[in-house]
Amino acid sequence: MAAVQTSRQRLANRLAIAAVIVVTLIFLAPIYWIGSTAFKPRALATTVPPTVLFQPEITPFIKLFTKRVQLTRPVEEEVYEAAPWWERRIYDGGERVLRVGDSVQLSGYPDRFKNSLIVAVTSTLLAVSMGTLTAYGFSRFRVPGEQDWLFFILSTRMLPPVVVAIPMFLMYRAVGMTDTHIGLIILYTAFNLSFSVWLMKGFIDEIPKEYEEAALVDGYTRMQAFFKIVLPEATTGIAATAVFCFITAWNEYAFALMLTNRDAQTAPPFIPAQVGSGLTDWTAIAAGTFLFLLPVAIFTFLLRNHLLRGMSFGAIRK
């Protein structure tokens, strides 16, 4: 009887894995398509049926990193011949690179990418650490008006950014925080905190208190118990929270646009805006999207085992 059960289970398992493969392929199709567009010649971006086999190019990335303008007619032969290989790629696309004197002008992308990194990494660290501490506080101690405070924390994420943007803009102007990294970092931390607290509380609530109590009996202080018992058990939750916070901060658009100008502007408002003189360059947008996806994807991939490890307490608690 038991053998039948397991063979049925095995079949179910196989079917489930087959389904996982199908689902993954469906979910990835658009991503594959964006990723492949980042390496396509411009003319192949909108073909039907979609071009699957093609000679990959890095022209989209050259475009992404340079400031260009449309030419109304092909450039003269001599100029073309004298140009370096990468600049010829731009000429081939019907554009020319902007220069000041002799130096090539870079697009906003590299600086914005750097700003995105600074802002997203710092604000994620802050939001996750503050969120974890606060969640622990709410989970383990009596807090007067606990439910109301938790609801207040949640409510900070309820107003649409459109409404908050104007008062925020005025507030930031008043204290001179517009167009600064620190301004965006603080804002994204505040924005992610509500999520971080709620999610971490969900995870910490699941960690049984017996272990901490046992540690206290063994002579640990409360802080030691928190750092040595609770935190390691909460790694899954911390990893998941960090991934979500990083993604949110990394892609935030509305406030980045309103609150920054030239020094601290992040990449999301830049990527879809490459319209040049009125033609969407899908390849350059795809290149920008592709590169911008890499840091989050790598970050998530590095944390994958923590995301999946599950909580050992869950498995052993009685």
CB of 68 to other proteins, least distance (A): 8
Query: What φ, ψ does residue 39 adopt, rounded to 5°?
Result: -115, 10
CB of 84 to other proteins, least distance (A): 18
d(CA 155, CA 171): 20
**Number of neighbouring beta carbons within 10 Å of residue 285:** 22
Retrieve residue 291's tokens: 């590169």
Query: What φ, ψ does residue 96 adopt, rounded to 5°?
Result: -130, 155
d(CA 128, CA 233): 15
d(CA 83, CA 68): 15
Question: Which residue matches tokens 């002008």?
Answer: 105
> Of the two residues 34 and 118, which places its CB atom closer to other proteins in the complex?
34
CB of 300 to other proteins, least distance (A): 5
CB of 164 to other proteins, least distance (A): 5
CB of 313 to other proteins, least distance (A): 8
Crossing angle for the helix pair 282-302 and 2-37, to the nearest 10 degrees:
140
Residue (of 247, 261, 277) closest to 108 by Cα position: 261
> Of the two residues 49 and 84, which places its CB atom closer to other proteins in the complex?
49
> Of the two residues 114 and 317, which places its CB atom closer to other proteins in the complex?
317
> Of the two residues 68 and 113, which places its CB atom closer to other proteins in the complex?
68
